[in-house]
Structures are given as structure tokens and as C-alpha cells.
Amino acid sequence: MPVYDLPAVAHATDFEAKQLDNLLTRNPLPGVEKKRRGVARRLTPDVAVTVRLAKELSEVLGVPPGSLLAIASRIQRDGRDEIDMGGFATLRVDLSLLRASTLARLDNAVEVVGRRRRGRPSKRLP
């Protein structure tokens, strides 16, 4: 399974990189690989789909995305298109379309963003 760096996922999910990093720091998700300081986070496509779903739900419901990450993660994990949200509400999500469009956006983001060097620049002169 491919892994993506944070700027590519941020571009694909319409987040600012710093905002996405803060969101993932405060809300642990399975599939987020962070080893130590100074090493870029590596994110699976499932994380990108979960984050994008939380962002879209956030925009529609007017709730912060961090509050919806647990719901989006459960929807992604269960793989069901309809989720009962109580006695009078049902949430329907087209997971296959969401996944396909997110993966297409990730492919585009990798080309647009590319890999950025981390750390201090080399002191060597060319």
C-alpha cells in the first residue's frame, strides 16, 4: 500500500499543511506513521479518505473536523454506505466514489506538490 507525505494529503483534502498536521497530532488515527521529530509523517490512502470525509461533513454540518474524525474513521472502517445516526436520521455516504476521487486527487497532488527537502540547507556551495 502506498504512503503519502503530509503536504500531498493536505493538498488532496483541501487543508493547509499546518492545519492537517495539528489535526492529526490532536486526533490519532490508524494509518498515520510518525516515528520521531524531524521525520515527515507518512499517511496511508485510508487516512486521506477519512480526513476528506471529515472535512466534507464539517463543512455541511458546521462542526470542527476534529470532532468528526472519529465518525469518519468508523464509516471508513466499517465500509457501510448507510449509517444510522439515531432514531430519525440516516447518513448515506458513497464510499466507493469518495475513495476513487480521493485517490485521483492524491495522484494529482503528488505531481503538483512533489517531495520537499526537510531540515537545514547544506552549507556547501555549488
> What pLDDT digit, counting tens, does each position of 54-107 carry?
999 999 999 999 889 988 888 888 888 888 888 898 889 999 999 999 999 988
3-state secondary structure at position 126: coil
Q: pTM for the whole thing?
A: 0.80
- Whether 49 shows a pLDDT value over 70: the answer reads yes
Q: Which residues pair with 92 in a beta bridge?
A: 82
- DSSP state, residue 36: S
Which pLDDT band, with edges at 50, 70 and 90, does 52 fall under? very high
Which pLDDT band, with edges at 50, 70 and 90, does 32 fall under? confident
